[in-house]
Structure 1
Amino acid sequence: SEQGILTNEKLQQYFSSVINVEYTADMEKTLDEIAEGNEDSVSYMHKFYDKFAPLVEDAYEKMPKKELERVGRTCPECGGELVYRNGRFGKFISCINFPTCRYTENDEEELPEEAKEEKICPNCGAKMVIKRGRYGQFWACSNYPECKTIESLKKKAKPEPTGEMCPECGYELVRRKSRFGTTFIGCSNYPKCHYIKKEPKKTEEDK
């Protein structure tokens, strides 16, 4: 990835003396010496940090900070510039004033059709924004953490009427799709009524 290439480049530039095959091999030998009691672990760590600490200080001082790419829009919450950032779930857009302002949204190019129209939080009236979690994208209230309303991004398919009536409660039977993707016929009065119509098994002639 772009981030991985950049990280490797900077590590080689500022820490090449400890990130190389020769150093790793020497460290393996030293660890064996420590395990056998021929080398003191504390003194070895002191030797390591005496060389490593200056490398870290030099990197902090000289490594240039990558400028955040501007989106070209302003934050609807505070008026600051919106910028692109990389997170654990991919590229996203956030306010440049983070952490003072925690407004975020996904890259517009990655947004599905369902997210192109504005959505208002049903609990507090604030604007809903698209966020990405470990299971994908979802709607979240922009007033978080004061309001923790979230909604699924994908609209659930509406049950399809069958014209039949439930033999147990009299409500209409509808065709639904289960969470596993299979379809079945059940009572529209669910969860008060758990009736599910058993489909007749297909014979060889039906197949």
Structure 2
Amino acid sequence: FDGYLKIYPQSAKENILPAVAAKEKLNLEEIIAAQHFTEPPARYSDATLVKAMEKYGIGRPSTYAPTISTVIERNYAERDQNKKLAPTEIALVVNDVLVKHFPEIVDYRFTAEMEENLDDIARGGKEWQKIIDDFYEPFAKNLEQKRKELSKKELTEEKTDETCEKCGSPMVIKMGRYGKFLACTNYPECKNAKNLNNGDKDRDGTKDSEELKKFAANFEGQKCPECGSPLVAKISKYGPFMACSNYPQCKFILNTNGTGIPCPQCGSGEITRKRSRRGFFYGCSSYPKCKFTLWGKPTGQKCSKCGSLMVESKDGEKCSNKECK
């Protein structure tokens, strides 16, 4: 009896069980123990985020792109190496605060309903004064109450069980420009602060990524030239970099993009890897005084014909001078 199988499309991955009779004895051939874990939802790309916004009625076609760009400009999200949108530490803090204290405002149903009301106002179906009054009066009252209840310190600091080794005061986790760090609560009398060893995440949100480990291995044991503290590997939306572990007291960042090749134009600068809207390129470290650039990675060798720097190519290397043949 086929039943629903008459209209159910069979997948190539499915195995149809053979016909068996009631109470028929079957021989056990093999027991396979397999463990599976639930995969987290995939991060949004620009396209999938727009689809989700359309699904929940958030925004309109004219506001989709500006909304995404605004979120990125305000450092609430950044694109990972797969061009997916990943939330920043600041975004997680802001989200927790808003969900806890303004749950009705950050509910997507509120945004969708407001969009509908605005459309009705544009069509002449509703009066804007009543819509705004119904929203703003309770919102303003709640906002004023939260201003009295909350402080910036409560929102941006996390308590820990660590004690400051210099003065004995409790240590808290604070949010800095490059992420979270430990700081003494006795500031400014005590300015002890240190990097969080587990605070570095890659752009997909996974701690200690392979990319970061391989990068850090190249600088193992190096000290900060300004304060002598160990250098630690961090990662940003532009890739991994080495910074002083004594941040925020010391803000030294090691230039890891240098090639060691002197600039052939000015002689004083170094050819370093840079980034533009068109992608990566190589230029003089003395920019803007020297504007020498290359669109290929220099090998350090010079062309035997014209003396220009040689750059890497698919076939090995080539002259960076387009006029040289």
TM-score by length of structure 2 reads: 0.34
TM-score by length of structure 1 reads: 0.47
